[in-house]
Amino acid sequence: MRILTLTEETKQNLKEDLLKRSPNSYREYEAKVGEIIERVRKEGDTAVFSYTEQFDHVTLTKDSLRVTKEEIQEAYEKVDPKLLEVMRKALVNIRAYHEKQRQYSWFDSREDGVMLGQKVTPLSSVGVYVPGGKAAYPSSVLMNVIPAKVAGVERIIMTTPCSRDGKVNPATLAAAQEAGVTEIYKVGGAQAVAALAFGTERIPKVDKIVGPGNIYVALAKKAVFGHVSIDSIAGPSEILVLADETANPRFVAADLLSQAEHDELASAILITTSEKLARQVSKEVDLFTQTLSRRAIIEASLENYGYILVAYDLEEAIETANEIASEHLEILTRDPFAVMLKIKHAGAIFMGEYSSEPLGDYFAGPNHVLPTNGTAKFFSPLGVDDFIKKSSIISYSREALEPIYEDIAQFAACEQLTAHANSIQVRFEGEDRRK
């Protein structure tokens, strides 16, 4: 990995480099995505079948589009029982963590007849997109579905591409069944997003679409936002390790590579105060890469977006970490808790040498659907809040409104909204408050 001294110039170049990975930088795909969405909107299932045959080389029909109970049962027979046991353990942890995020309706009453409150209601239906191209991600099924179940969403519809023989990955189907998905459709890409956003003859329209995907999926979610809600427009995966001289170089190298193997656009960055650690980590990265199965992807990722930055001191390192606002941030320092308190922007923070990033991906409980490309400055991890909506409750008695109705009318008159003022004043017609 390249080793650079951290300066304002290298910092700026790094940030510009990382921004190239944003879905917003791939506008040449937007016209094609728009075409797919519009055709699915107009032609429904016919367009979905056509695009699935064109892109995935699978012929779907009205009878084979939806995953059957028999296919789910067949999937269970193919999944390693040990993997199923692990998924069930992870599910317990994920559910327990998200249960703590639940919100409840509240009401506050006063003696003068005023009642204010907030009514919390789960979304009625959610679409979950699950990738099925280069690899299967049953962990993403759990992370996207369980918060929705905890929130109380009644209908959870999953779409995922199938293989050329018309089958969905068995582990993906088992995870969907365990998590509580209502129905599953064998369709992927922008056409799946469009189907969920507008509905077809057989795929229902949903209120919100969540889940990761390729650039076509990301841009399709961006395009349908407003017709439905979305979680976020996810970019490639990224990790930033913040380390001092106490860090174990093999641990750091292994953790950087855990994200570099996702795809060629993944970013792996180490910021350290130790030049010695920087050299050791670079050496360990080279040794690990030679033995890992996704070597070609890792090498491309590190060549394009892999960096080791040597900072003058820990404060400079922390400042840079906050500016980058990484999806995953590992803190491997002498006092990780003290450093964590100074971190303002990160999707998920892992503290200490035994809290590596895959722990969060699969098992600990916090969600692994995280903001990318610096959006951790204003976005949060996927959670129960993403699957609820809130309604304000306002109730005033006549006795509560009477002392203030002229104040409201004056405010409305200031904005030249006479109908607003009248709506309040009409309730006290004929009364003279000077009496």
Active-site residues, by number, are: 327-328
Reference 339, options 367, 320, 362, 312; nearest CA is 320
The strand ranges marked E within 207-286 are 208-210, 229-230, 238-243, 267-272
As a whole number of angstroms, the distance between CA 401 and CA 420 comes to: 15
3-class DSSP state for residue 218? helix
3-class DSSP state for residue 348? strand
As a whole number of angstroms, the distance between CA 367 and CA 142 comes to: 9
As to burial, measured by CB atoms within 10 angstroms (0-12 exposed, 13-18 middle, 19+ buried), residue 171 is buried
Other CB atoms within 10 A of residue 96 CB: 12
Other CB atoms within 10 A of residue 248 CB: 16
Amino acid 128 reads: V
As a whole number of angstroms, the distance between CA 426 and CA 435 comes to: 18
Other CB atoms within 10 A of residue 431 CB: 11
Question: CA angle, corner 239, sides to 235 and 240, nearest 5?
Answer: 130
As a whole number of angstroms, the distance between CA 143 and CA 369 comes to: 7
Strand partners, 114: 396
